[in-house]
Amino acid sequence: MKTGIARLHDWYGPRKERGGESVRHWRAGFDSRAVYSAVDFAVILFDGSLLSPSRLLAALVPAAAGGVENVLAVRVSNGTPWRKAILTGLELAGQELVVDMTELQVRRLFNELRDTDRPGAVTVLGPKAAVIKTNELQEASRISFWRPRYTRAAAIWMDDESTFDLDALAFIHPDIIFSVFGAEPALPADNFSYEGHEFGSFLESIMDVAYVPAERTGHALAKAKIVFGPGQEGCWVWPDLHPEHFQFHSIAWTTGG
């Protein structure tokens, strides 16, 4: 987890500035001024179906790296026990504001944040965390929302029995279904299954996530959204979670003056 946190900080920043602006003069005969700044708050919503600390951290670390000063991690639940690895990951990331809320409490929190008219960012992980309705989203013009679109399944190619640390993957992602191809290793948990030795079958099985040796990355990228090589078992990144999600942007177009 420490490795994953460090690499997320490298990937997203950390930024030395919390905002900035650019002024341009266009050949079409107008001027533009673009202004951006880190949002006032970020809320990371997740639910009890999320058991992976690395996927949670991949949504949380970018907010801190982008200069958001008020970050709140909210688990939407009815008081079910926390997975210890989730709490450990939050602690390693230095996340101090962590709460457990019911769906009703989350909607009340969102309404209060919306009514402040302050810019913010909400990240949603897990189906039960998506408690804010479409009409409520439309009324929150100063709050950005993002949630990943992916299938909780991953394909793994093993050149030999030790290509990937499967025990580490079982610990980090107990809620992902892993299909293993290539060399047949000992499988660490029930969410792993061996599917065969053909590389073509491995490629056909890829949905969104693949684990392959570095020299085979190009083949996997043709199908997968996320590809990890050996040594990245504790890491995760959301390819379409960009720093702009945690910024408030304004643009002015003017002529003359």
Q: What is the number of structural domains in the chain?
A: 2
Domain end among 148, 166, 200: 148
Question: Do 129 and 43 reside in the same domain of the chain?
Answer: yes
* Cross-sheet strand order for the sheet of 41-47: 98-101, 71-76, 41-47, 120-125, 143-146
What mean pLDDT is predicted for residues 216-230? 95
Question: Do 8 and 123 reside in the same domain of the chain?
Answer: yes
pLDDT tens digits for 117-131?
999 999 999 887 788
- With beta carbons less than 8 A apart as the criterion, state whether 253 and 23 touch: no
Give the helix ranges, DSSP H, for 116-234.
134-139, 166-172, 199-205, 217-221
Question: Do 8 and 35 reside in the same domain of the chain?
Answer: yes
Residue 149 has phi, psi (to 5 degrees) of -120, 105
Question: Do 86 and 212 reside in the same domain of the chain?
Answer: no
Q: Where residue 257 falls among pLDDT bands split at 50, 70, 90?
A: low
Percent of the chain with pLDDT over 90: 85
Domain for residue 239, yes or no? no
What whole-number distance in Å separates Cα of residue 8 and Cα of residue 5? 5
Question: Do 221 and 102 reside in the same domain of the chain?
Answer: no
Q: pLDDT at position 71, please?
A: 97
Domain that holds residue 202: 153-228
pLDDT tens digits for 161-196?
999 999 999 999 999 999 999 999 999 999 999 999
Domain for residue 164, yes or no? yes
What mean pLDDT is predicted for residues 137-152? 87
- How far is CA 104 from its chain centroid? 24
What mean pLDDT is predicted for residues 71-91? 94
pLDDT tens digits for 22-64?
999 999 999 999 999 999 999 999 999 999 999 999 999 999 9
pTM: 0.92
Domain end among 148, 181, 199: 148
Residue that wins the pLDDT comparison between 138 and 142: 142
Question: Do 137 and 205 reside in the same domain of the chain?
Answer: no
Domain for residue 253, yes or no? no
Domain for residue 39, yes or no? yes
- With beta carbons less than 8 A apart as the criterion, state whether 188 and 166 touch: yes
Question: Do 33 and 142 reside in the same domain of the chain?
Answer: yes
What mean pLDDT is predicted for residues 92-105? 94
Tell me whether residue 194 is exposed, middle or buried, using C-beta atoms within 10 angstroms of its C-beta: 0 to 12, 13 to 18, 19 or more. middle
Question: Do 76 and 115 reside in the same domain of the chain?
Answer: yes
The residue with tokens 């939050």 is 90
Q: pLDDT at position 242, please?
A: 94
DSSP-derived secondary structure for 213-235: -GGGHHHHHTT-SEEE-TT-TT-
Return the closest-CA partner of residue 68 out of 15, 107, 130: 15
Where residue 141 sits, what CATH number does that domain have?
Answer: 3.40.50.1980
Domain for residue 241, yes or no? no
Question: Do 184 and 113 reside in the same domain of the chain?
Answer: no
Q: Where residue 244 falls among pLDDT bands split at 50, 70, 90?
A: very high
Domain for residue 248, yes or no? no
Q: pLDDT at position 62, please?
A: 95
Question: Do 178 and 115 reside in the same domain of the chain?
Answer: no
